[in-house]
Amino acid sequence: MADSRCLYRHGFLRIGTGVPRGRVADPAFALAEHLALARSAEARGIGVLLFPELGLSSYAIDDLLFQDALLDRVETAIAELVAASRALFPVLVVGAPLRHEGALYNCAVVIHRGVLLGVVPKSYPPNYREFYERRHFAPGLGTSGAIAVAGEDVPFGTDLLFRAEGEVPFTFHVEICEDLWVPLPPSTRGALAGAEVLLNLSASNITIGKARHRRLLCASHSARCLAAYAYSAAGPGESTTDLAWDGQAAIFENGECLGESARFPDGPTLLAADIDLERLRQERMRTTTFGECMREEGAGDFRRIGFTLGAPPAPAPLERLIARFPYVPDDPERLAEDCYEAYNIQVQGLAQRLSSSGVRRAVIGVSGGLDSTQALLVAVRAMERLGRPRSDILAYTLPGFATSDATRANAWALIETLGVTGGEIDIRPAARQMLADLGHPFAGGEPVYDVTFENVQAGLRTDYLFRLANQQGGLVVGTGDLSELGLGWCTYGVGDHMSHYNVNASVPKTLIQHLIRFVAASGDVSAATARALEAVLATEISPELVPAEAGATIQSTQQVVGPYALQDFNLYYLTRYGLRPSRIAYLALQAWGDASRGAWPANIPAEDRRAYSRAEIRHWLKLFLKRFFANQFKRSALPNGPKITSGGSLSPRGDWRAPSDAGAQVWLDELDANFPDEG
């Protein structure tokens, strides 16, 4: 069993793309360079190492490819590489010209632990513009059988898949250069047949703009195939008689570039990336059209070549950076784009609902906190889009027993600077009456602040808003967010759980602060409103339902349900990918275990740029699991609201459908078994 610190224990595979130095038509030199990179890959814990097309002979050598002396030496180099591989961990995928049944083929040779596993010929040798491969090579498309290489017969054909069994199971497919550039790359059927990893040995000379096109092809193909795609191109030492080479190596996963080498290197290059195999499998399982395409189009009749890849000689810690905030990109440009889209999705949703319902006014409770602020901003823009006055927004503050002067001031500053119709209803008299009618100890003067005390206030606020909507011909705009729904941190029914339309329903708490900053900096609000928004952003997240004792801090939501940064992380990976809790905890430790590792999204306060220990991650994940499963009944009865993020929503009509009777024990047991306390 792999060490628990090792990425191979947790559903990851480290693959590498090597660009060795070349020397024209010198297989002995090529062999030495390939082995040097293979040994470096061994030291880095790389499980699969990809090399360029025709790397053992050189690519641009024209009619030298017909020279028996060269072809014989290439086979000798393969035999020496096979022998040397006995002591190496990685699977090696190298390029070589090989003779077979009177023809020459441009081949990928797959080697592992002293075994030549198989040979895959290039399906589509190009014969246009600068390419003249059909002069030398036969097309490999449709070939199947065996080939004699270095004195042994091995599987040969374009129908090969390579399947790692045992501790690190995965399947990979191999294609060569031009195969990716055709309308239906061979790796498409390889992916449909189960290959999660697609490898491309390429030479690919460089011209202006070609590198960008390669990235586009690799990224889009990995996204379409829900796969990892690794690419390696010829680099220094290749013949420059009529062409030039940039040595571009890159690795993609489901459309995302995990790494790209520096181009035009002077020496050898080794690029590595950690592929999340379990995430790819989850995506394929959830994307039912992937399987339907396989059944309709046919994956082809592949031969599966089995081998065993165990753990590397030394534990390989995960090198892949796991984003701390899966809903909030750390790239400023991407964050700005996400905020623009999220805000406008909310606005469009509310505007359409107001228009289609024929309701004139929007009614919203404004607390001075994050959620209601964002909902109010959305309502203002929706009214503008409909050509209606802001005065048609009826914004009410509803102070209770624990409402602070600061949040009340925030609420009124927003109401006044945004120019909406404001009002205030003190809910304390009605709350006292209800508590007295219930015989609650608080009505007799006792400081009992239980769930009844809290929910009487939360329920009255919502009740007032609905009755105001009845009276004013309005629609109640909900404010509760995705994070609160995931944790069940909402009062069911007549409480913040309910509204006529909830614009925040699939917006996580960690994103809302950035949406507010986006609006504040957009230039669409006045300077006074921007100052009010900054004040809201600086306010502690609190339901403000329990009075604070003299000198004590106000009621803190995150002290009860956990840090939203961690809980949003847990929510994302549980609902979006269905990961087992131990793996969520492992990823959380990679993301949050070291505050100095990786980038932080813009505007995260310095005091929030902290690390969390293994024990803290376990504690809050266990709480999350208990609350998430215990509160499904609330999510089964949600009002309408637009889906915002690719991370999904919890609407019973959308991304998340689950029984209200399920318990968390299976998930808690899995966490305890596979991510135990350190002590």
Residue 552: predicted pLDDT? 60
Residue 490 annotated in ligand binding: yes
Arithmetic mean of pLDDT, 374-402 = 97
Q: How far apart are CA 677 and CA 619, in angstroms?
A: 10
> Is residue 626 among the annotated active site residues?
no
Give per-residue pLDDT as tens, 83-136.
999 999 999 999 999 999 999 999 999 999 999 999 999 999 988 787 788 899
Residue 275: predicted pLDDT? 98
What pTM was computed for the model? 0.93
Residue 6 annotated in ligand binding: no
In degrees, rounded to 5, the angle at the alpha carbon of residue 209 between the alpha carbons of residues 204 and 213 is 65
Residue owning tokens 């504040």? 520
Residue 553: predicted pLDDT? 63
- Report residue 1's pLDDT band, with 50, 70 and 90 as the boundaries: very low
State the catalytic residue, choosing from 33, 107, 122, 339: 122
Dihedral (C-alpha) 555, 557, 562, 566: value to the nearest 10 degrees? Answer: -140
State the catalytic residue, choosing from 33, 53, 238, 260: 53
Residue 280 annotated in ligand binding: no
> Is residue 80 among the annotated active site residues?
no
Arithmetic mean of pLDDT, 61-85 = 96
Weakest-pLDDT range from 141-150, 371-380, 593-602, 641-650: 641-650
Q: In this prediction, what percent of the chain has a pLDDT beyond 90?
A: 83
Give per-residue pLDDT as tens, 474-494.
999 999 999 999 999 999 998
Residue 76: predicted pLDDT? 97
Arithmetic mean of pLDDT, 344-356 = 97
Cβ within 8 Å of residue 127, ≥6 positions away: 133, 134, 135
State the catalytic residue, choosing from 177, 218, 225, 339: 177
> Is residue 544 among the annotated active site residues?
no
Q: How far apart are CA 410 and CA 403, in angstroms?
A: 11
Q: How many residues does the chain have?
A: 679
| The pLDDT of residue 277 is above 90 | yes
| The pLDDT of residue 551 is above 60 | no
Cβ within 8 Å of residue 48, ≥6 positions away: 13, 15, 16, 90, 91, 93, 172, 197, 199, 230
Residue 327 annotated in ligand binding: no
Residue 196 annotated in ligand binding: no
Residue 622 annotated in ligand binding: no
Q: How far apart are CA 511 and CA 507, in angstroms?
A: 7
Weakest-pLDDT range from 98-107, 355-364, 428-437, 599-608: 599-608
| The pLDDT of residue 549 is above 70 | no
Q: In this prediction, what percent of the chain has a pLDDT beyond 70?
A: 98
Tokens of residue 29, six digits:
């030199």
Cβ within 8 Å of residue 424, ≥6 positions away: 396, 397, 398, 399
Residue 371 annotated in ligand binding: yes
Residue 228: predicted pLDDT? 98
Residue 491 annotated in ligand binding: yes
Q: Which spans in 225-331 are helix H?
A: 277-286, 288-297
| The pLDDT of residue 227 is above 80 | yes
